[in-house]
Structure 1
Amino acid sequence: MKLHTSIGPNPRVVKMFLAEKGLDVARVEVDLRGGENRRPPYNESVNRAGQTPALELDGGGFVTEITAICEYLEEVQPTPPLIGATPQQRAETRMWTRRVDLKICEPMANGFRFAEGLPLFESRMRCLPEAAPGLKTLAKDGLTWLEGEFKGPWIAGDRFTLADILLFSFLDFGAVVGQPLDPANGKLTGWFDRVKARPSAAASA
């Protein structure tokens, strides 16, 4: 396998997932800032959507979208389980991953793309600068909601999962692009510090 990767929170999710699994996968660095992902050969032979990361399979073909890549890796190497060892665990992880993605990560990412990231993204996708403040507020609202739902020590309870990796990767990114975690979210602040202390966090940075 080869991981076509770049800077940014989405590729980091997969790199951190790989580190937790102890999987050593060859990497091909894609120049995101230079637009390599938006022109041939990348957007013709690797991912026609022009996004990173993409997992190139040994038998040919590519898997894109971070949750799909992580699902594939979980099947390739089930231990340690980061999605789940039982149908119930897998369902719970997917539920929390979906919630984190929709309520926090997606509005946070677009809030950045339409504001601080506008010079990079305005020629690559439809950007709505007027929507940026609202999107950032939605992400904050999502974090406040999660703070109220959080039982700990991890998002899915006593299991460290893909949901933790996803949220950590985006919050660590948000901290440097004007969307830091509000310290009033004390439970999530403690959770963030626990994730940051894991070797996989440094290995994927």
Structure 2
Amino acid sequence: MKLFKSIGPNPRVVMMFMAEKGLALEMVDIDLRGGENRAAPYLKVNPAGQTPALELDDGSFLTEVTAICEYMEEGMAQPPLIGVTPEERAQTRMWTRRVDLKVCEPMANGFRFGEGLPMFKDRMRCLPDASPGLKAIARDGLDWMESQFQGPWLVGSRFTLADILLFSFLDFGAVVGQPLDPKLPKLNDWFARVKARPSAAASA
């Protein structure tokens, strides 16, 4: 297998997931800043022009972070980062979806339509006026997660894909004008615990 990656939080999710699994693959760097992801030949890898993408042994490709991680989990069950039982897997998927909708998507588009506008304006439909509102939606999502957090991880006692996803985006947000509010003590403590894991450094 081969992983096509670039800068950005989405490829980092997969690389951190791999680091937790102890999985090493051939890597191909895609120049996101230079627009390599939006041109041939990469569009044959992923017609959506996004990273990461996983090339399988038969030459086919998987894209989308959660799909790639689910595939890796099925091929390498230990340590479990999605779950062992149907209930565990469902809980992880529930929290992964919540993280994606409440934080990652609005945070990412808040950046693309704001600080990232010079890079993205000719690559996708951008709504600059929406940037402040999207960032506020991401903050609202984090406020909600703080209110729901039981710990030590998002899915209780299990470190999962949901933690990796949220950490990767919050670490990205910290350098693009969307830092984690210090008034969210549970999430700040959680963030420090994730950052201390070897996989966080290995995927940076």
Q: Shorter-chain TM-score: which interval?
A: over 0.9
Matches within 5 A, 1:146-157: 146-157=145-156
Question: 1:100 & 1:89 partners in 2: Cα distance?
Answer: 17
Question: 2:168 & 2:157 partners in 1: Cα distance?
Answer: 20
Deviations 1:147-180 (A, max 9, x none): 0000000000000000000000000000000000
Over the matched positions of the two proteins, sequence identity in percent amounts to: 75
Question: 1:42 & 1:35 partners in 2: Cα distance?
Answer: 10
Match of 2:15 in 1: 15
Match of 2:141 in 1: 142
Q: Which runs of 5+ in 2 are unaligned?
A: none
Could you tell me which amino acid in structure 1 is paired with residue 25 of structure 2? V
Match of 2:176 in 1: 177
Match of 2:35 in 1: 35
Question: 1:59 & 1:157 partners in 2: Cα distance?
Answer: 38
Q: How high is the TM-score relative to the length of structure 2?
A: 1.00
Matches within 5 A, 1:1-205: 1-43=1-43, 45-205=44-204
Could you tell me which amino acid in structure 1 is paired with residue 170 of structure 2? L
Deviation (angstroms), 1:60: 1.5
Give the secondary structure class of the aligned counterpart of 2:40: coil
Give the secondary structure class of the aligned counterpart of 1:20: helix
Give the secondary structure class of the aligned counterpart of 1:63: strand
Question: 1:32 & 1:62 partners in 2: Cα distance?
Answer: 19
Give the secondary structure class of the aligned counterpart of 1:158: coil
Could you tell me which amino acid in structure 2 is paired with residue 166 of structure 1? L
Deviations 1:94-117 (A, max 9, x none): 000000000001000000000000
Could you tell me which amino acid in structure 2 is paired with residue 62 of structure 1? F
Q: Which runs of 5+ in 1 are unaligned?
A: none
Could you tell me which amino acid in structure 2 is paired with residue 3 of structure 1? L
Q: How high is the TM-score relative to the length of structure 1?
A: 0.99
Deviations 1:122-170 (A, max 9, x none): 0000000000000000000000000000000000000000000000000
Deviations 1:8-33 (A, max 9, x none): 00000000000000000110000000
Deviation (angstroms), 1:59: 1.4
The list of structure 1 runs, each at least 4 consecutive aligned residues, that deviate by more than 4 angstroms after superposition, is none
Give the secondary structure class of the aligned counterpart of 2:78: coil
Deviation (angstroms), 1:119: 0.3
Question: 1:23 & 1:59 partners in 2: Cα distance?
Answer: 19
Give the secondary structure class of the aligned counterpart of 2:54: strand
Deviations 1:39-63 (A, max 9, x none): 00001x2000000000000112000
Question: 2:80 & 2:13 partners in 1: Cα distance?
Answer: 15
Q: How many residues align?
A: 204
Measured on the aligned residues, the alpha-carbon RMSD in Å equals 0.3
